[in-house]
Each structure stands twice: as C-alpha cells, then as structure tokens.
Amino acid sequence: MTDDVPRSFTASVDRPFDPVSVRLLTTQLFDRNNQRLSEAQVQELTLNPPPAPNRDARINKLSDEANAAATNAYESEKIYNMTVRDIGVRVANTMHNILDDLVNYNTADGAEGFINIFTKSDRLMFVGIVIIIITLAAILFRSGDLATGSCRASNLSANGCCLH
C-alpha cells in the first residue's frame, strides 16, 4: 500500500507528514506569470521560504487612516480650534435648531424634554456664548445711559436704574 504513495508524501521519523507544507511546496512550483520554476528555484524556495504576508497590514492601515480622520474631525469641532466666523455660524445654527425644536415641542415630554432641547450635543456651549453676548450688551447699554448724563441722581431708583 505504501508503494503507490510517493516517498516525499510518506511520514517518517525525520520528516513527519505535514499536509500544509506539502500544499505550500506544490503551490510554489509556478511564479506569478504562471511560468514553471526550475529545480534550483524550487530548492531555493524550500530552503528559504518567503515571509508570510501580513494579512492584517491592510486592515490596520485603513483603521489607522479612519482613526486619524475621526481625530481630526473631533479636534476641528473643539471651540478653541474654530475661527470667529465658524463660531458665529455654529451659534446661528444652534439658535435656529433650538427654535425649530421649541416649535415642534411635545408637552408630553415634560420638563426633561424641554431641558433636552437646550442640552442636545454641543448646543449648551453655544447657548452659553449667546448668554454671555446678551449680558455684555446689557452691561454696555446700561453703562452708556449712565455715561451720557441722561439719568441724573434724581431720576435713579433705589437699585440704580434710570426711571425715564
């Protein structure tokens, strides 16, 4: 029974039967152009097999590129990486989206739904910027009234507001 099996495929003490290496040897008999390899080339491949390809290299490269793109997108969304124009556009978009959500507000959502309108994603930061701008404008207008002298001491209320 062992006579009809080639000697190179039989197991021995020195070289046990290994179907994987047999498969590799038979697939390496042809080069990329389907040209049959010479005995010297087959012997060279047997002695010095090519390194195993890193099958995960392409996936790792794509993953690294996607991670870099996501990191760049995340960094560009941070407020200290935005220009004044970008901040203005984002404030305007945020106010528009808040007004849209207030128009579409369902009273069944309750207070939690109302608060959620203002705290969605990064809206809270831009709402804070609007509050700061309104506060600064109010301070400037009030200090302008006091500086012009139109409010005299006789026209001021107890808390310092002009009674005109």
**What is the spatial distance between Cα 133 and Cα 78, in angstroms, rounded to a whole number?**
20
The DSSP bridge partners found for residue 156 are: 162
Question: Which residues have C-beta within 8 Å of that of residue 113, sequence separation ≥ 6?
Answer: 105, 106
Determine the pLDDT at residue 91.
93
Q: Kindly state whether residues 88 and 30 are assigned to the same domain.
A: no
Residue 70 lies in a domain: no
Residue 25's CB: how many other CB atoms inside 10 A? 15
Residue 110 lies in a domain: yes
Q: Write out the residue range of the structural domain in which residue 21 sits.
A: 16-51
Q: Kindly state whether residues 104 and 153 are assigned to the same domain.
A: yes
**What is the spatial distance between Cα 118 and Cα 136, in angstroms, rounded to a whole number?**
21
Contact 28, 37 (CB under 8 A): yes
Determine the pLDDT at residue 49.
77
Determine the pLDDT at residue 160.
58
Q: Kindly state whether residues 45 and 95 are assigned to the same domain.
A: no
Per-position pLDDT tens, the chain of length 164:
455 555 555 555 555 554 444 444 455 465 555 566 677 877 787 787 777 777 788 888 888 899 999 998 888 878 888 889 999 999 999 999 999 999 999 889 899 999 999 998 888 899 999 999 999 999 988 876 665 655 555 555 655 565 55
Q: What is the count of structural domains for the chain?
A: 2
- CA-closest candidate to residue 41, choices 54, 25, 18: 25
Determine the pLDDT at residue 149.
58
**Both structure tokens of 95:** 């106010």
Q: Kindly state whether residues 94 and 26 are assigned to the same domain.
A: no
Determine the pLDDT at residue 97.
94
**What is the spatial distance between Cα 81 and Cα 75, in angstroms, rounded to a whole number?**
7
Determine the pLDDT at residue 79.
81
Q: Kindly state whether residues 157 and 89 are assigned to the same domain.
A: yes
